[in-house]
Amino acid sequence: MTVLCLVEQDIDGAADASLRALAFSRELAASSAVAGGRAVGSDVAVGSDVAVGSDVAVGSEEADSGDAEPVGSSEAPGSPAESLAAVVFGSAAGAPADALAAAGVTDAYAVESDLLAGYAPVAWAHALARLIATSSATAVVAAATDRGNEVLAHLGAITGLPMAANCTSAARTSDGRYRLVRHRWAGSLLEDAVLDASPALLTVAVDAVAATPAAVPAAITVHAFRPDLAAEDLAVRATESAERAGGVSLATARVVVGGGRGVGGPEGFGPLEELAGLLGGALGVSRVVTSQGWRPHKQQVGQTGTRISPELYLACGISGAIQHMAGCMSAKHIVAVNTDPDAPIISHADYAVIGDLNQVIPALVTALRARAGLS
């Protein structure tokens, strides 16, 4: 029995949001083992960092087809704890095996296909559906990123299973159901819920779980998995140019520099982008900026954009509407730059600079460049 976690990759390997989802999945696997009576006589406890399932061999031979026969879905009491498996899209050679092993993953499935050069949500979902049977998955987990939510929504449609999004915790109960806590209303409240489905389809709120490693790294096996895909699975595909593929993810950036209506127009974001680069961070914007077409929607912070949890959020020319604050309420520190001392964001900020961002930001950029020894 397996908890299967979708792992997204960025330029550094496994994305931070996915490492958090792996930590969540490891805890879920531990709770499933205990609830199912499979931890009898073991040292595995719910909430521990033990790499559960590190002695379980899932798929000892290479899975070279999406038509593998399902593995038996029931285990007798006293059998090994549930294992943690990861799914990555790309070559087996390129899988971030070290990072996955450190998270407690015993088996990684690298989905290989000449047809999957880019992101194809329906194809990804069909590959996961086939892996559910191959691995006897009792739960499928992904980070609650745009891709994670989209792929698991498609997986729910394909399998007829319900999906619970933005979970902060989950545990399997003795009757086989799942007790969940999840974000609602952009994280402004927490919902206690029970999910009665097998396998469970869950996404993890990206800022709710720490990316903690397993107490003992697992011995990992990477399997090449080549699913049979139909033409309709690839009707929607997204590709990304090389020059846009890098950079810091807005959802996981430790520093975010935000710009709002006060920036004045698309040409005003140059200094903010430079500041974000000097701080090793990402650029974020308010909804009005994307509505005006000044910046793309993927940079939007807010209830209908990306929820962020950086160490520092530097909000420039942003009034602080409630929908925007719902997306940045998890920031550790908020610094606001605004000409209006009565702007709503000032009451949420740890520090505020009442002044013109067109003077404040260039001065800050100059100071940072001088400190770094840049001309």
Query: Are residues 10 and 32 both part of a single domain?
Result: yes
- CB within 8 A of 332, min separation 6: which ones? 309, 310, 311, 312
Query: Are residues 150 and 45 both part of a single domain?
Result: yes
Mean per-residue pLDDT over the chain, rounded: 84
Number of domains in the chain: 2
131-140, 248-257, 316-325: range with lowest mean pLDDT? 248-257
Across 241-270, average pLDDT: 81
* pLDDT, tens only, 77-130: 333 468 999 999 999 999 999 999 999 999 999 999 878 878 899 999 999 999
Q: Is the pLDDT of residue 373 over 70?
A: yes
77-81, 159-163, 238-242: range with lowest mean pLDDT? 77-81
Query: Are residues 89 and 206 both part of a single domain?
Result: yes
The phi, psi pair for 19, rounded to 5°, reads -65, -35
Which of 210, 241, 272 is at the close of a domain? 241
User: What is the pTM (predicted TM-score) of this model?
Assistant: 0.69
Query: Are residues 193 and 331 both part of a single domain?
Result: no
Query: Are residues 45 and 107 both part of a single domain?
Result: yes
Query: Are residues 146 and 256 both part of a single domain?
Result: no
Burial 65-88, CB ≥16 within 10 A → b, else e:
ebebeeeeeebeeebbbbbbbbbb
**CATH no. for residue 78?**
3.40.50.620
Across 341-370, average pLDDT: 96
Query: Are residues 225 and 300 both part of a single domain?
Result: no
What do you get for the CA distance between the two ends of the chain, in Å?
58
Query: Are residues 153 and 44 both part of a single domain?
Result: yes
Query: Are residues 103 and 175 both part of a single domain?
Result: yes
Distance CA(85)–CA(92), nearest Å, equals 14
- Name the residue range of residue 356's domain: 247-371
Which of 181, 216, 241 is at the close of a domain? 241
Query: Are residues 264 and 213 both part of a single domain?
Result: no
**CATH no. for residue 333?**
3.40.50.1220
Which of 241, 268, 296 is at the close of a domain? 241
Query: Are residues 211 and 288 both part of a single domain?
Result: no
Query: Are residues 262 and 232 both part of a single domain?
Result: no
